[in-house]
Amino acid sequence: MLELHCHTTHSDGTLTPPQLVDAAAVAGVEILAITDHDTMSGWEEATAAARTYNIEIVPGLELSTVHSNRSMHILGFYPNRERLETPLQSRLAGRHRRAQQMLDKLAELGYPVELANLNGSMAPGRPHIATALVRAGYVQSPQEAFERWLGDDKPAYVQYEKFSAVEGIQLLRQCQAVPVWAHPFLFRGGDVEAILPELVAAGLLGIEVYHPSHTPSQSRKLEALCQRYGLLMTGGSDYHGPSKQDDRHSGLNQLHLPTALLPPLQQAAQQLQSQN
């Protein structure tokens, strides 16, 4: 089975890449994509660990962009690392600045915290801040931290630095990565069907049809949109590690997706490589 959307400690996942690979092996995953937020730094560790098992690692990332003033995530698969590394540095630096802005807001609100153990190649996100707030004893759970301060429109929330979805898709295409709209039905800035043509025009090549947040009827709808626009289909559990408190992060390989989803993705990547 296959998993095309997973996070590690290189962004806001709680398992290191080797731990994730171990968990994937236990869960019966044969093909595992590493898609950390705005960083590619987890790949080597995952690839090295996967040699122990018969697991194929798909190199990827999840770009943070803004569309209609709301966050939109674009997955990129098989990027040319050399080309993407430098532009990605500025996205990653933006995530560090944004995290600091959220920490500043929390301090102003009377809840000062610090983020421990973050180096420059790791992507800080709201879950890191939520964990720090739990550690400081201000809240019982990360969920509570989101409800009080970190959720969209809550007092310590800060949007990603401006980088449009169209710019993100174009960047991925320039870097030979296959751009895929992540979890479209989690997007809060408009109607999926209405937005899609603009993303396709920018160079979108796929949709994450299968995601734990999608209902079966939403996935059917996305399958139909893929048909209509000639887009490839991906899926994954968006795994962030085991966590009892956060029921948004459910189990690895829970979707039992077929490995047949991989060849179209590989073909699209090869086509991009031969084009530029």
Contacts with Fe ion by CB under 5 A lie at 62, 73, 182, 238
Residues 11-50 that bind ligand AMP (CB under 6 A): 12, 37
The residue (of 146 and 181) whose beta carbon lies closer to ligand AMP is 146
Q: From the list 43, 146, 210, 239, which residue makes contact with ligand AMP (rule: CB under 6 A)? A: 146
From the list 235, 236, 241, 174, the residue with the least C-alpha distance to 202 is 174
The residue (of 70 and 136) whose beta carbon lies closer to Fe ion is 70
Residues 259, 1 contacting (CB under 8 angstroms): yes
Residues 60-89 that bind ligand AMP (CB under 6 A): 64
Q: Which two tokens stand for residue 12?
A: 């806001």
Q: From the list 4, 8, 10, 12, which residue makes contact with Zn ion (rule: CB under 5 A)? A: 12
Q: Which of ligand AMP, Fe ion, Zn ion, none is residue 246 near (CB under 5 to 8 Å by kind)?
A: ligand AMP
The residue (of 82 and 153) whose beta carbon lies closer to ligand AMP is 153
Q: From the list 17, 60, 125, 184, which residue makes contact with ligand AMP (rule: CB under 6 A)? A: 125
Q: Which of Zn ion, Fe ion, ligand AMP, none is residue 45 near (CB under 5 to 8 Å by kind)?
A: none
Would you count residue 151 as binding ligand AMP (CB under 6 A)? yes
Residues 220-249 that bind ligand AMP (CB under 6 A): 240, 246, 248
Please choose, out of 125-133, 190-198, 203-211, 256-264, the segment that lies near ligand AMP by the rule CB under 6 A.
Answer: 125-133
Residue nearest to Zn ion (CB): 12
The residue (of 113 and 214) whose beta carbon lies closer to Fe ion is 214
Q: H/E/C letters for each residue in the chain?
A: CEECCECCCCCCCCCCHHHHHHHHHHHCCCEEEECCECCCCCHHHHHHHHCCCCCEEEEEEEEEEEECCEEEEEEEECCCHHHHHHHHHHHHHHHHHHHHHHHHHHHHHCCCCCCCCCCCCCCCCHHHHHHHHHHCCCCCCHHHHHHHHHCCCCCCCCCCCCCEHHHHHHHHHHCCCEEEECCHHHCCCCCHHHHHHHHHHHCCCEEEEECCCCCHHHHHHHHHHHHHHCCEEEECCCECCCCCCCCCCCCCCCCCECHHHHHHHHHHHHHHHHHC
Residue nearest to ligand AMP (CB): 125
- What's the Cα-to-Cα distance from 264 to each of 28, 74, 163, 233, rounded to whole Å? 22, 18, 28, 8
Q: Which of Fe ion, ligand AMP, Zn ion, none is residue 146 near (CB under 5 to 8 Å by kind)?
A: ligand AMP
Least separation in angstroms between residue 238's CB and Fe ion is: 4
Residues that bind ligand AMP (CB under 6 A): 12, 37, 64, 125-127, 143, 146, 151, 240, 246, 248
Residues that bind Zn ion (CB under 5 A): 7, 12
